[in-house]
């Protein structure tokens, strides 16, 4: 199991925290009834794409190492 320092070094923890923060802000604004700026929707798409894209890249890299 990786330690907290290893996770921070590989930025896995940082990516997860930023993703949660941005999506939470969007969800909060929707629940409260405030208009959500288009820039925030764009940031949501960017953060989600980067987060899941990095997960796919990590798994593909691991499968290449196993071959």
pLDDT digits (tens, 9 = 90+) for 33-48: 999 999 999 999 998 8
Which structural domain, as residue segments, surrounds residue 34? Answer: 7-66
Nearest of 8, 11, 37 to residue 25 by alpha carbon: 37
The confidence score (pLDDT) of residue 66 equals 45
Answer yes or no: is pLDDT of 65 > 50.
Answer: no
Angstrom CA distances, 10 to 1, 15, 28, 44, 55, stand at 14, 10, 29, 22, 12
Which pTM value belongs to this model?
A: 0.64
Would you say residue 34 lies in a domain? yes
Count up the domains in the chain and report the number: 1
Pure H helices in 1-67: 4-9, 12-32, 38-66
More confident residue, 28 or 15: 28
Would you say residue 18 lies in a domain? yes
Would you say residue 1 lies in a domain? no
> What mean pLDDT is reported for the chain?
79
Compute the average pLDDT of residues 11-29. 86
Compute the average pLDDT of residues 5-33. 83
Would you say residue 50 lies in a domain? yes
């Amino acid at each position: 199991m990786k330690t907290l320092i290893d996770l921070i070094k590989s930025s896995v923890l940082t990516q997860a925290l930023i993703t949660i923060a941005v999506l939470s802000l969007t969800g909060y604004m929707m629940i409260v009834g405030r208009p959500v700026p288009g820039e925030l929707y764009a940031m949501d798409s960017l953060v989600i794409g980067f987060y899941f894209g990095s997960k796919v890249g990590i798994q593909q890299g691991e499968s290449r190492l196993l071959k």
